Amino acid sequence: MEISRVGVIGAGQMGNGIAHVMALAGYDVIMSDISQEALDRAMATIRRNMERQVSRGKITQDQMNAALSRIQTTLNLPDIGAADLVIEAATERESVKQAIFEDLQPHLQPHTILTSNTSSISITRLASRTDRPERFMGFHFMNPVPVMQLVELIRGIATDEETYRTCLGVVERLGKTAASAEDFPGFIVNRILMPMINEAVYTLYEGVGNVRSIDQSMRLGANHPMGPLELADFIGLDTCLAIMNVLHDGLADTKYRPCPLLTKYVEAGWLGRKTKRGFYDYRGEEPVPTR
């Protein structure tokens, strides 16, 4: 199946990154959100990130201008129905995602492929609530989307081969690499990454090390580009907690129990970089550990 028009639902960090790479790859993109402010902010972010790519010689000014001209925005979700491929990148809550697909369904073309950028929620379960489980799959980009090379493709139990092959072709056209994952909680990346982050929070919670020593140990001792607590702040502590809950609920193993300290930070509204406070305080010139 030929994909020419891509709909992106959600204009947040992931949604605007997906719109960015799709437009650069030559797809016509329509991005929706419930907030005009979010759409305006997303377009400003896309422009800024593309300008950075131009300054580094990654793309030309003409490529940037052409890509920006391919992106439309809308507050009207039914407008997304004209797309050949829909990528949902809304909040990581299953009820929200289900409501979006339910509202969108009457406006879809018969051939439209539905996908979700979910990082942990069951693709089979999401697909079962739509009219096209065979044309539904997980399309999980890594953050930040324009930089990270991997895309996880997750087949639900009903996903057909044509849908998988079509999505694989899109990933290849983006110049990225696809990893095929089975539909189990957390898929591949977060099944491995989130328990590591959760264990780092337990290490902090139990007083084995402070924020700075834990991050420094993993950067210099394991050659990680970013410490696990710094990475958690970048991802968003609410997202980390949501994924740990999915792992704990879905696999029923106590090793996935979210650390109480992670829960406490989320309860406080200290969600990381996006709220200016998490394991680090970002309100000053330099991030300062909060513990």
Q: What would the pLDDT profile of 12-50 be if each residue is shown by its tens digit?
A: 999 999 999 999 999 999 999 999 999 999 999 999 999
- Binding-site positions for NAD(+) read 10-15, 33, 92, 97, 119, 143, 274
Instruction: Judge whether 193 and 238 are in contact, CB under 8 Å.
Output: no
Query: Domains, the chain, ranges and CATH?
Result: 5-182 (3.40.50.720), 189-289 (1.10.1040.10)
- 152 is an active site residue: yes
Distance CA 239, CA 257 (A): 15
Cis omega (within 30 of 0) on the bond before 225? no
pLDDT tens, residue by residue, 228-265: 999 999 999 999 999 999 999 999 999 999 999 999 99
Point out the catalytic residue in the list 32, 49, 116, 190.
190
Position 186 scores a pLDDT of 93
Active-site option among 88, 94, 152, 230? 152
The pLDDT of residue 34 is 96
Q: Give the confidence band of 1 by pLDDT, cuts at 50, 70, 90.
A: confident
Using only the alpha carbons of the chain, give its radius of gyration: 19
Query: For the residues 277-288, what does the mean pLDDT come to?
Result: 97
Output the pLDDT for position 120. Answer: 87
Condensed to tens digits (0 to 9), the pLDDT of residues 108-117 reads 999 999 999 9
The backbone region for 33, taken as left when phi is positive above 0, alpha when psi lies in -120 to 50, beta otherwise, is beta
pTM of the full predicted structure?
Answer: 0.90
Q: Quick one: pLDDT at residue 266?
A: 98
**pLDDT over threshold 90, residue 275:** yes
Percent of the residues in the chain that have a pLDDT greater than 70, as a whole number? 100
Q: What is the C-alpha separation between 142 and 187, in angstroms, rounded? A: 13
Question: What is the C-alpha separation between 49 and 64, in angstroms, rounded?
Answer: 10
Q: Is the dihedral of CA 1, 29, 97, 229 positive or negative?
A: positive
Catalytic annotation, pick one of 119, 120, 122, 198? 119
pLDDT band of residue 71 (cuts 50, 70, 90) is very high
- For the chain, the average pLDDT equals 97
CA 31 to chain centre: 15
CA–CA dist 18, 174 (Å, integer): 10
- Active-site hit among 32, 140, 198, 230: 140
Render the chain in DSSP notation, one character per residue: ----EEEEE--SHHHHHHHHHHHHTT-EEEEE-S-HHHHHHHHHHHHHHHHHHHHTTSS-HHHHHHHHHTEEEES-GGGGGG-SEEEE---S-HHHHHHHHHHHGGG--TTPEEEE--SSS-HHHHHHTSS-GGGEEEEEE-SSTTT--EEEEEE-TT--HHHHHHHHHHHHHTT-EEEEEESSTTTTHHHHHHHHHHHHHHHHHTTSS-HHHHHHHHHHHS--SS-HHHHHHHH-HHHHHHHHHHHHHHH--GGGPPPHHHHHHHHHT--BGGGTBSSEE-SSSS-EE--
Q: How confident is the model at residue 92 (pLDDT cuts 50, 70, 90)?
A: confident
Torsion (CA) 12, 169, 171, 138 in degrees, nearest 10: 60
Read off the pLDDT of each residue in 120-126 and give the average, rounded to a whole number: 94
Q: Is the dihedral of CA 129, 134, 136, 140 positive or negative?
A: positive
Average pLDDT over residues 273-278: 96
User: In the structure encoding, which two tokens stand for residue 228, read together?
Assistant: 């696990």
What digits encode the pLDDT tens for the residues 184-233? 999 999 999 999 999 999 999 999 999 999 999 999 999 999 999 999 99
> What does the pLDDT average to over 91-99?
93
Residue 145, pLDDT score: 96
Take residue 189 and report the two structure tokens written for it: 């990346």
Give yes or no for a contact between 181 and 119, defined as CB atoms under 8 angstroms apart. Answer: no
